[in-house]
Structure 1
């Protein structure tokens, strides 16, 4: 088992990446057991059926489309570990802060998640999301220019859940492409 240091969120990206990959290569991080008084987030692992895994995927999609950092962060364990592109996060508070920054830059955000595979306490998804970066607001979360530009992100996520159904590990990779508004796929 590999434990992340208490100051993980304060490390520079290089040392964070090394610690994260050391833990991933070992196959397991050192997890605290979930608090007994926490409510279960159904369905619970192991995910034996496609329907159970799809229920988790749909719940995540619905929560992320609210753009509510509190609601989204509530689905993650207190000691959750994330790799999101080139950011490495540890803990629900770090996730909440990340989501606040993300959605301050990405307006009109819309997401779709698609189940790719599931086994035991793990689920893999493909996703796409679209967002608009206002002029002068930078590039959103992704790469390349973004001011006044629609963008689409394509990617994958690997998830692992604790015994109470909270996501304790999220590993995400994605690429962004600029699109014209007429090329949007995810419209309400």
Structure 2
């Protein structure tokens, strides 16, 4: 069933999601920030951000806080100038404790293809290091690494 639904999604949307995942895995703050409009609105749990400068501050803090982060995005659905994807991430904090975060993000784009609204719903919980499932060298997720659906997430 998942394969049938995934086959109905556009290759362009799937590539956008993969590129966004790569930016987070590469910890490329510029790529993440510049994919948004100058006046973009983000909501992520208790954080309400307006504009690239607030987004940059948030992203840089996340990159520092979430050490050795690995993330997988999986396109969920798309529509005219909108898409959503689900994600799972694993990271450790500066005390060495590991966490897994799950969630989804809904995006709205402007005519130029930049994100103008990003709404994130997610949660995280502590895991043991041996429970990690997102294991690859720092950088983009390898093409042969299983997606979320195959991992059972």
**Normalising to structure 2: TM-score of the pair?**
0.81
Higher relative strand content? 2
Residue of structure 1 aligned with 2:15, choices 33, 36, 55: 55
State the shift of 1:68 in Å. Answer: 2.3
Is 2:127 the counterpart of 1:179?
Answer: yes
Is 2:33 the counterpart of 1:85?
Answer: no
State the shift of 1:80 in Å. Answer: 0.5
**Normalising to structure 1: TM-score of the pair?**
0.66
Counterpart of 1:170 in structure 2 is 118
Counterpart of 1:120 in structure 2 is 80
State the shift of 1:71 in Å. Answer: 2.1
Could you say what secondary structure the match of 1:58 adopts?
helix
Show the 5 A alignment for 1:69-148. 69-135=29-95, 148=96
Query: How many residue pairs end up in the alignment?
Result: 129
Query: What CA distance in whole angstroms lies between the structure 2 residues aligned with 1:173 and 1:115?
Result: 15
Give deviations 1:24-43, integer Å, cap 9, x for gaps.
xxxxxxxxxxxxxxxxxxxx
| Unmatched tracts of structure 2, length 5 or more | 1-7, 137-153
- Structure with more relative contact order (C-alpha pairs < 8 Å, separation 6 or more): 2
Question: Contact between 2:70 and 2:91, CA under 8 Å: does it hold in 1?
Answer: yes
| Unmatched tracts of structure 1, length 5 or more | 1-47, 136-147
Give deviations 1:39-70, integer Å, cap 9, x for gaps.
xxxxxxxxx95212101111111111111222
Structure 1: which 4+ aligned runs deviate by more than 6 Å? none
Could you say what secondary structure the match of 2:133 adopts?
coil
